């Protein structure tokens, strides 16, 4: 081999050694940061999780074990008694495994890593969200993050969010169901939160979600507004939708609308009832606004061409049109 080749080979060995050393240092720093192999900080173990236990220099003692239904590691070779794993980290279990094998080996070097996470039930989010889904719970997750994961709420969201527990928390240290008013429904109750409070960033409206929780962003019931409004449409009831607000959301009454007599067709047991409402009085503040109910049909009538309002509007239109013609003639001629 030539002198030049020997020099190049030496440089290659040096660079490779330096790279390997840097990699080892990076891995050591990562191991001491409190993050496991999947980047989840301080994951607490539970029944069903699978651990890869290795005792260096002792292949007969190394094995892959599953945490049993009681939350213990009980199937390691030569283990005199089970090692508690539930609600502990793999590093804490690693220390106990080393203590257990110290009876047979001097200063045993033990490694415990999480191979599979199977102890947490997924949380389910559905209802008025853009992408209903199940979310695997690897760490502490709050309501706002779960809704973001589901790509946010839809236009049909009613303004409330229901959270139902399906199982108790495995590890109380992982968080509690905070500031919730529970009803009598379900095994662990239903908590109801307001969407507006969540939008406003109120902490009490952004609880921690438990594994197995059912989260429903409720859909609002519809009302329908028709007739002489700018944009007849279907609306979703949110936070006590009123007649005045509904008409405003439909673009307001048209010019020929008969606003002193608005009809509401309301569903009731056995049929319908018709309400006649003076919208002008509501707008002036001399009559109370009307809170709408699901499936109300609001009909804003037409005042008619030969009514007082119709003739007045027609005359105003003629005057405006004539003025426009005069102006145009002045410009042209």
**pTM beyond 0.75:** no
Instruction: Tell me which of 241-245, 301-305, 314-318 is least confident.
Output: 314-318
Q: What is the pLDDT of residue 139?
A: 80
Domain formed by 123-219, architecture: Roll (3.10)
The average pLDDT across 26-33 equals 32
187 against 240, higher pLDDT: 240
Domain formed by 50-116, architecture: 2-Layer Sandwich (3.30)
Average pLDDT for the chain:
79
Tell me, yes or no, if the two domains 50-116 and 123-219 fold the same way. Answer: no
Q: How far apart are CA 17 and CA 32, in angstroms?
A: 23
Q: What is the pLDDT of residue 188?
A: 58
pLDDT band at 34 (very low <50, low <70, confident <90, very high): very low
pLDDT at 146 over 70: yes
Q: How far apart are CA 311 and CA 66, in angstroms?
A: 85
Is 222-302 a CATH 3.30.1370.100 domain? no
pLDDT at 221 over 60: yes
Span 230-283, pLDDT tens digits: 999 999 988 789 999 999 999 999 988 999 999 999 988 888 899 999 999 999
pLDDT band at 30 (very low <50, low <70, confident <90, very high): very low
Closest-CA residue to 237 (of 87, 97, 128): 128
pLDDT band at 37 (very low <50, low <70, confident <90, very high): very low
pLDDT band at 170 (very low <50, low <70, confident <90, very high): confident
The average pLDDT across 109-120 equals 92
Q: What is the pLDDT of residue 43?
A: 84
Contact of 214 with 166, CB cutoff 8 Å: yes
Q: How far apart are CA 266 and CA 268, in angstroms?
A: 6
Q: What is the pLDDT of residue 243?
A: 95
CB-count burial class (<10 Å; 0-12, 13-18, 19+) for 243: buried
Span 268-284, pLDDT tens digits: 888 889 999 999 999 99
Bridge-based pairing state of the strands 222-227 and 297-302 = parallel
pLDDT at 313 over 80: no
Q: What is the pLDDT of residue 16?
A: 42
Contact of 146 with 125, CB cutoff 8 Å: yes
What residue spans define the domains of the chain? 50-116, 123-219, 222-302
């Amino acid at each position: 081999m030539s002198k030049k080749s020997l020099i190049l080979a030496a440089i290659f060995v040096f660079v490779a050694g330096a790279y390997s050393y840097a990699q080892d240092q990076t891995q050591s720093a990562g191991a001491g940061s409190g993050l496991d192999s999947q980047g989840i900080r301080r994951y607490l173990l539970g029944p069903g999780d699978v651990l890869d236990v290795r005792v260096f220099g002792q292949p007969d003692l190394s094995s892959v074990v599953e945490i049993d239904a009681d939350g213990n590691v009980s199937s390691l070779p030569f283990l005199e008694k089970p090692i508690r794993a539930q609600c502990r980290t793999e590093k804490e279990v690693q220390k106990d495994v080393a203590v257990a094998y110290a009876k047979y080996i001097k200063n045993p070097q033990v490694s415990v890593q999480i191979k599979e996470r199977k102890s947490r039930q997924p949380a389910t989010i559905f209802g008025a969200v853009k992408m209903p889904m199940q979310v695997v719970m690897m760490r502490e997750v709050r309501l706002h993050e779960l809704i973001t994961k589901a790509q946010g709420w839809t236009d049909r969201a009613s303004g409330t969010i229901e959270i139902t527990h399906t199982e108790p928390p495995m590890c109380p240290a992982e968080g509690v169901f905070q500031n919730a008013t529970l009803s009598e429904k379900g095994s662990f109750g239903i908590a109801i939160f307001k969407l507006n409070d969540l939008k406003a960033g109120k902490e009490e409206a952004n609880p921690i979600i438990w594994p197995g929780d059912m989260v429903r962003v409720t859909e609002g019931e519809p009302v329908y507004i028709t007739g002489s409004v700018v944009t007849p449409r279907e609306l979703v009831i949110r936070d006590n939708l009123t007649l005045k607000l509904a008409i405003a959301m439909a673009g307001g009454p048209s010019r020929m609308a008969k606003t002193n007599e608005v009809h509401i067709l309301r569903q009731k047991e056995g049929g319908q009832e018709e309400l006649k409402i003076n919208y002008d009085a509501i707008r002036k503040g001399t009559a109370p606004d009307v809170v709408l109910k699901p499936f109300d049909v609001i009909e804003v009538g037409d005042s008619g061409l030969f009514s007082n309002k119709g003739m007045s509007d027609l005359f105003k239109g003629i005057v405006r049109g004539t003025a426009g013609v005069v102006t145009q003639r002045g410009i042209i001629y």
